[in-house]
Amino acid sequence: MRIISGSARGARLAPVPPGVRPTADRVRESLFNALGQFFDGGAVLDLYAGTGALGIEALSRGMERATFVEKNGRAAATILENLRRTRLEDQAEVVRGDAARALERLRENGRQFNLIFLDPPYRIAATEVEGVLSHLGVLLAPDGRVVVERGDAPEEVLRGEKGVTRRYGGTVVTVFDRFEFMMNIAVCPGSFDPITVGHLDVIRRASGVFDHVVVAVGGNRIKNPKLSPADRARLIEKVTGDLDNVSVEVMEGLLVEFARERGAGVILKGLRAVSDFNSEFEQAQLNQTLDPEVETMFIMASAKHSFLSSSAVREIAGYGGDVSEFIPGEILDTVVKAYSGTQPDAQRRIKTESKG
């Protein structure tokens, strides 16, 4: 095996260690030609790196930095040897370990890559590859691309029908653009104190538009909350259980950071009436200033929910009123129990009645 083009052109790579399936020179050449003039600076991530030939070829062709992730110790040693042979060791780091864990760490460190190679051993199931792919969006720089290499005639279709797939002899290569990772995840944030049928309607409609919706439960600064963020999240999980592409999480910090960490390109909110507009406009503009790459979008509330709000529910339940029209049936009891008798007048009335 040799480096095909660039500063290390012609360099012979170390023998392939047992158990590693290298990308043949011929396939590598066609693949890099198909990627075109893409290698001016920037960082490359080579996952399941094997001999490191893909990442090293990218460095040789002009990329600035490379991170190689490889679990197999002998393969990791081969990558280091190949970096030495090509005199590219100063531009590279080799992470020895599991791809999923390495991705988590790279994400925590806010790393971004212009090119990501994913060349998993053929024995790895498509579901694992999908799992790794679903975490790559956040690691991709704005013009980034992901290249996935797979064995002969894979039956599975990755990420639906997206990407451009080419066949090189017995190898199938799919190239994904960044937008194919970013735009299909939306974050639906709110205090959800408590979740109403109006919120649920917005989440349900969003789940029909996006590949995945993350409901982010914020509002940690609510004073004297009747339900903790974790409790509110559990209630949302209960009422969205039938929506496979909806997950629920507690959000601790800034919304744009939460969105970025989840690989979401969209913050999605429900808009009820003109009275919502000022505050939503302000939040959308603040979030856009904080991160111009995360877009805020709105779904208009259904007419029958346009009057409904969590604060109205808290007030009505607080006075012991009937909120069954406003709260999903599965969680009604819990909500009534948590919020009933919380209004000062209701407390007084309860005390007076119990005295009498």
Catalytic positions, written as ranges = 199, 223, 272, 310
User: Helices in 210-331 by DSSP H: which ranges?
Assistant: 229-239, 255-261, 274-290, 310-318
- State how far the Cα of 4 lies from the Cα of 1, in Å rounded to an integer: 9
196 binds ligand PNS per the rule CB under 6 A: no
Looking at 195, 255, 266, 335, which residue binds ligand PNS (CB under 6 A)? 255
We find the least distance from the C-beta atom of residue 219 to ligand PNS, in angstroms, to be 5
| Six token digits for residue 86 | 């090509």
We find the least distance from the C-beta atom of residue 146 to ligand PNS, in angstroms, to be 28
We find the least distance from the C-beta atom of residue 319 to ligand PNS, in angstroms, to be 22
| Cβ-based burial of 217 (10 A; exposed 0-12, middle 13-18, buried ≥19) | buried
283 binds ligand PNS per the rule CB under 6 A: yes
CB atoms within 10 A of CB 73: 10
| Cβ-based burial of 153 (10 A; exposed 0-12, middle 13-18, buried ≥19) | exposed
273 binds ligand PNS per the rule CB under 6 A: no
| Six token digits for residue 322 | 């009937």
We find the least distance from the C-beta atom of residue 268 to ligand PNS, in angstroms, to be 11
Strands (E), 111-245: 113-118, 140-150, 164-168, 171-177, 185-190, 212-217
164 binds ligand PNS per the rule CB under 6 A: no
286 binds ligand PNS per the rule CB under 6 A: yes
218 binds ligand PNS per the rule CB under 6 A: yes
Of the listed pieces 74-82, 87-95, 119-127, 188-196, which binds ligand PNS according to CB under 6 A? 188-196
271 binds ligand PNS per the rule CB under 6 A: no
Binding residues vs ligand PNS (CB under 6 A): 189-191, 218-219, 254-255, 283, 286-287
